[in-house]
Amino acid sequence: MSWLRIAAELFRDAMGSSEPSAPPQQSQPPPADIHEVVGLLNSYRAEVDKNFDTVARMLKAHHDRQLRAMQIQRRWNYALTAALVILAIIAVAAYLR
């Protein structure tokens, strides 16, 4: 799967998420107190952590879907190989008769 497809899925999931998003805040004058700066940085960190958690959940879900698809494909490959071996045995037995 290409990176563009993964990015498109992430973008589509983010655009279709049911979580309400906060309206963008208006630009405010810079804080004058160090406590306000720390509070502002903590709010930005919390927002970034929330976004990273969302991306991590989406990547984990994508990984789980990929893993499931690979397991199904592996089962099909084993079944088709077994069928091919059985068909070869039948062809050899029919030829030797």
Query: Would 6 be classed as within a structural domain?
Result: no
In a domain, 38, yes or no: yes
Asked whether residue 69 is assigned to any structural domain, the reply reads yes
Domain with 80, as residue range(s), is 34-97
> Is 66 a member of any domain?
yes
pLDDT given at position 90: 97
* Predicted local distance difference test score (pLDDT) of residue 21: 59
Residue 23 lies in a domain: no
CA distance linking residue 77 with residue 72, whole number of Å: 9
How many angstroms separate the Cα of 34 from the Cα of each of 39, 40, 44, 56? 9, 10, 15, 32
Would you say residue 75 lies in a domain? yes
The total domain count for the chain is: 1
Establish if 92 belongs to a structural domain. Answer: yes
Q: Is residue 57 assigned to a domain?
A: yes
Name the H helices within the chain.
Answer: 3-15, 34-96
Per-residue pLDDT of the chain (97 residues; tens, 9 = 90+): 577 788 777 777 777 756 555 666 667 777 778 888 888 889 999 999 999 999 999 999 999 999 999 999 999 999 999 999 999 999 999 999 8
* Contact (Cβ atoms closer than 8 angstroms) between residue 58 and residue 2: no
